[in-house]
Amino acid sequence: MMKNENIHLKELLLNRRVVRNYSETDKDYPNLSDIPKLTIKIPTAGFSRGIEIISVENKENIKKLAIYANEDSYLKKGYGKWLSNSKAIFLILINEQAYHERYKELDKQNQTNSSNWSVPYWYVDAGAAMMNCMLLVEETGLKSGFLGSHNMEIQKIKSLLSIPENIEILGFVTAGVEGESTNLKKENLNKKKLLHKEKYEKYEK
């Protein structure tokens, strides 16, 4: 599986989808070492640089992360293995304090205090990093997935990877070889109008 040098961003965006079912395979896979440093090539509020990433390719640690992220509850619903069959897991991390410290500096003191922002931009920036990471995984020929941290055993993950207490885990971006579909039926989602031109247009069912 080789990196496609001719692939374009538009193609990546059109073909990208979240894949949560990976095959267990010992086949060679692309070198993923560039993904972390390119993932954080994002704009951050005030150049706070509060978004960090940990890449995990060690198989034993991947298995442990799968346990701490409660993959079993996913399997019990009838889905195939995902996290534990990942070739790599990238943790998107948020250092909120970096934003507050940046906005205490002299050139930012006449602006809104970061603690009073109507939008917490550390989450905006983390979302940009997440999308970067997923597209970079897709570019290698592997399939990407994302799992938010809301149902994880956070303290065990932090202990495993020596993550400081003040660092927040947004979630996991996964990379793997797509497995066979489980063919579980999904409820049809209501179509929503997401694209608007000149003004907001309400969708009528």
> In the prediction, which pLDDT does 186 show?
56
Quote the number of domains for the chain.
1
Within a domain: residue 193? Answer: no
Within a domain: residue 195? Answer: no
> In the prediction, which pLDDT does 1 show?
46
Within a domain: residue 128? Answer: yes
Phi, psi of 104 (to 5 degrees): -95, -10
Pairing of strands 168-176, 143-148: antiparallel
Q: Which of 167, 165, 186, 172 is nearest to 144 (CA)?
A: 172
145 pairs with which residues across the strands?
Answer: 174
Residue pair 16/178 in contact (Cβ under 8 Å)? The answer is no
Within a domain: residue 182? Answer: no
> In the prediction, which pLDDT does 10 show?
84
Within a domain: residue 108? Answer: yes
Query: How is the beta sheet containing 51-56 ordered, strand by strand?
Result: 51-56, 88-94, 168-176, 143-148
DSSP-based three-state secondary structure for 1 = coil
- Tell me the residue length of the chain: 205
Q: Which residues in the chain land under pLDDT 70?
A: 1-7, 181-191, 205
The CA-CA-CA angle for residues 153, 123, 164, to 5°, reads 45
> In the prediction, which pLDDT does 2 show?
47
* CATH number, domain containing residue 19: 3.40.109.10
For residue 57, the enclosing domain spans: 9-176
Within a domain: residue 28? Answer: yes
Within a domain: residue 68? Answer: yes
> In the prediction, which pLDDT does 196 show?
87
Phi, psi of 174 (to 5 degrees): -110, 155
Task: Give the DSSP H/E element, type plus range, for residue 65.
Answer: helix 59-68
Within a domain: residue 199? Answer: no
DSSP-based three-state secondary structure for 89 = strand
